[in-house]
Structures are given as structure tokens and as C-alpha cells.
Amino acid sequence: MADFLGMMKQAAQLQSKMKAMQEELDLIEVEGLSGGGLVSVRMSAKMEVRAIKIDPSLMKPDECEVLQDLLVAALGDAHRKAEAAMQEKMQALTGGLSLPPGMGLG
């Protein structure tokens, strides 16, 4: 019975740490760039886009496809960086153990 209570206590502690980590992830921001910095995307480590900056030189009707491609690339770059930041926090929390994707991250 003591083992069960100990496990419950550990689970509650882990849940508390996960909640604190979620709040911390919301504060961490990364920046994805494309086109040599012509397009930048700022995103939280929880994958929420916070800001997009587009160089005025891309605001031409004939540059629409280029701009679309650069936005996709900048979003992808930001997403990769946010994922790396999230993984770093998860490893710190779990002592290096890998958890399956989506475990407690929502």
C-alpha cells in the first residue's frame, strides 16, 4: 500500500511539473526565418504563431507566389525551433526519458 501511495505522490508531482512546464513553454519564443530574413515568424514553444514580419519589397502582386513560399518556409523553421525548445524542456523535466509525442502537451 505504501508503494501505491508513493506512486500517487510522484504522479501528482509530475502533473504539477508538467503544468509549470506548459506555462513556461508559453513564454518561450523562437523565430523562424526565410529568404535571408525577408520573412520572419515568431512562435511560442507551444506552436502558437505570435507575429509575422514581411519585408515591404515582397509586397508586389508579381511576388505573391514567392511570398507564399517564404511564409511556408519561415513557419516550418519556427516550428522546428519550437519543437526543439519543447523537447529540451521535456528532457529536463523527465530526466532525459523520452515520452511519446503528445503526452501531456496540450
Question: What are the pLDDT digits (tens) for 41-96?
Answer: 999 988 999 999 999 999 898 888 999 999 999 999 999 999 999 888 888 777 76
Burial grade of 83 (CB within 10 A; 0-12, 13-18, 19 or more): middle
Which amino acid, one-letter code, is at 74? A
Instruction: Report residue 104's pLDDT band, with 50, 70 and 90 as the boundaries.
Output: very low
CATH class of 29-94: alpha beta
Overall average pLDDT of the 4-22 stretch: 82
Task: Report the helix count and the strand count for the chain, using DSSP H and E.
Answer: 2, 3
> What residues does each domain of the chain span?
29-94
Low-confidence winner among 29-38, 80-89, 94-103 (lowest mean pLDDT): 94-103
Model pTM above 0.75: no
CA distances from 73 to 9, 13, 36, 68 (A): 44, 39, 11, 9
The whole-angstrom distance between residue 86's C-alpha and the CA centroid of its chain comes to: 6
- pLDDT, residue 83, reads 92
